[in-house]
Structure 1
């Protein structure tokens, strides 16, 4: 995660924890394997004796090692294929300091048991909107489903006390373009800054593979990517479960960009060239039979519980009850309202 608000995933590995889908892991896997091949092809005949891999926004649990394991295996496979001595590897897992790093450190034992190549592991707590590594020291950066988290909410909204989500339908439709433009501006600032930071940390020819929850359409989106959360909280405010004034001052530091948004920022910043850019429906990988009201509630809880509790107090049991009630009426609501959501997966090379 990126924002300095308490936005880490729920701790643990149960039904309240978030798990990356297999299809998305496979797409990341293909791009990471391609990045390793490209990285080696850009070096001289003397291959590097040491390589550094970093996963930014690693979270914890089943997904925390998935990307770096792919990278380690790809490097090992490449060296076997071309009968090269594998380099020593240094693997860093990054997330905000409030992340459950106890779980992360325990999972790192899996990597340290790999003897060929030698793998040294570590954690790098901090926001990825700050410097994390020394200059020209990292060969591969990975990040999965994290960069839609912003460093902060737009000051324009806070300063003018403009709610991110209006309970009244007419007001919400009227104000939505302005609200989303404020979010889009923050995304542009943050993503450009992210690229500038990584450009300093990556070696020349270094690779970066990231996935971001975004949208298909260009221009201003017709929805928040956290609409379901906002809808349920608005019902809770209407029913008096949470204070309406608190609801009006609640902002989630998340924005879903389009492919063109990211391409434009990357080209303007200038430190990276785009190799591959994949766009997939956000819901296409899900088994529709599994998308039950209970599943929806637990997924939202896994991602947003910490920030909701921080702002409203311990209201999650009531949140789950209302979520299940809302979507038990029509489970197709999720597909209808979020047809524009997309998973953006891209691979870039430092110039």
Structure 2
């Protein structure tokens, strides 16, 4: 099982880096912009916010590359536009970026320096390394929390599977189909536990009436996926070929778990209501098919996206096997003559979920 530190995107600016293979994530950040702008308008119109003269904004799971500043930049621009329209002096703005310690924070810090030198200066910036499944900030200190394409990543693989040595993706298809309900339930329970904790922690850190806008990869409500989640399922299929070739050990494969779960909008709504710290202002579901088509449109894009997302966790578990993984992945794409990858996209029915919340 991968540690928390392994769940980060691939560093750098190279061809297979997350920075060069994150158009899917960027598209979802663009869809979040209207909700973030609405949140900022509400906060800037609030007497209590204006009284204190400052707004603290945190992006949790910011990663690195061109997307790292997208959400906070949207918030900053909305603040200045609102104040300019009303001819008010802008509040002091404090921007905080968070991700796991192994994230490429050198690149993130350089981006923050650029942000501070922009035409809309930010008074203070900072980074907060750590898991967002832990406390990160002082009580009642944040006004806005954003999190994009990150909450589908769990704090760890489901304990029911790891403790009982149940593979998340059994090589034997019959066994895999038999175990699928148990595997899916284990992932659902781990997501429920993690998401509730996330909400509890953020409720402590947000001021009264503080706002949160989150997006995550989910599953359409009207369809139950017949197989494993799309990209982890593809990775497992590729790794299973490497097992058959003797490149990696089967026991090692059976103990490999991707800590990733795509919930339905009903799951998300139910957990928020059950936890009780937040009121749901708005929920949206987007179809990411167009972005997925681009990600799977050529062998290079297909392989680069897999590497950008999963190389760190694969290497930590299996060692230096990426050359063999790339070869097997290219073969997997080239053998898709019957369009099974396209069919898999339909079966898994991915959806992007966006939620705007107010601290109760």
Aligned length: 350
- Deviations along 1:127-169, whole A, 9 cap, x unmatched? 0000000001001111111101111111111111100100111
Map 1:45-60; keep pairs closer than 5 Å.
46-60=50-64
- Deviations along 1:203-257, whole A, 9 cap, x unmatched? 1111111110111036864333211111111111122111111000111111110
SS of 2:4's equivalent?
Answer: coil
SS of 1:310's equivalent?
Answer: helix
In the alignment, which residue of structure 2 is the partner of 1:242? Answer: 248
Q: What's the offset of the Cα at 1:320? A: 1.1
In the alignment, which residue of structure 1 is the partner of 2:69? Answer: 65
Aligned equivalents of 2:267 and 2:331: distance in 1?
Answer: 36
Higher helix share: 2
Aligned equivalents of 2:71 and 2:334: distance in 1?
Answer: 35
Q: What's the offset of the Cα at 1:327? A: 1.3
Q: TM-score, normalised by structure 2?
A: 0.92
Q: TM-score, normalised by structure 1?
A: 0.95
Further displaced range: 324-333 or 184-193: 324-333
SS of 1:63's equivalent?
Answer: coil
Distance 1:287 1:227, change over 3 A: closer
Further displaced range: 21-30 or 194-203: 21-30
**Does 1:156 pair with 2:138?**
no
In the alignment, which residue of structure 2 is the partner of 1:330? Answer: 336
Further displaced range: 27-36 or 127-136: 27-36
In the alignment, which residue of structure 2 is the partner of 1:346? Answer: 355
**Does 1:269 pair with 2:275?**
yes
- Deviations along 1:92-125, whole A, 9 cap, x unmatched? 1100111111111111111111364543111000
Question: Quick check: 2:77–2:120 contact (8 Å CA) kept in 1?
Answer: no
**Does 1:305 pair with 2:311?**
yes
SS of 2:118's equivalent?
Answer: coil
Q: Where do 4+ consecutive residues of structure 1 move more than 6 Å?
A: none
Question: Quick check: 1:212–1:344 contact (8 Å CA) kept in 2?
Answer: yes
Which one of the candidate residues 101, 106, 122 is aligned to 1:102? Answer: 106
CA RMSD of aligned residues (A): 1.9
In the alignment, which residue of structure 2 is the partner of 1:186? Answer: 190
Question: Quick check: 1:40–1:47 contact (8 Å CA) kept in 2?
Answer: no
Q: What's the offset of the Cα at 1:285? A: 3.2
SS of 1:284's equivalent?
Answer: helix
Aligned equivalents of 2:260 and 2:243: distance in 1?
Answer: 21
Distance 1:161 1:5, change over 3 A: farther
Further displaced range: 326-335 or 132-141: 326-335
Distance 1:45 1:155, change over 3 A: closer
In the alignment, which residue of structure 1 is the partner of 2:199? Answer: 195
SS of 1:223's equivalent?
Answer: coil
Further displaced range: 63-72 or 217-226: 217-226
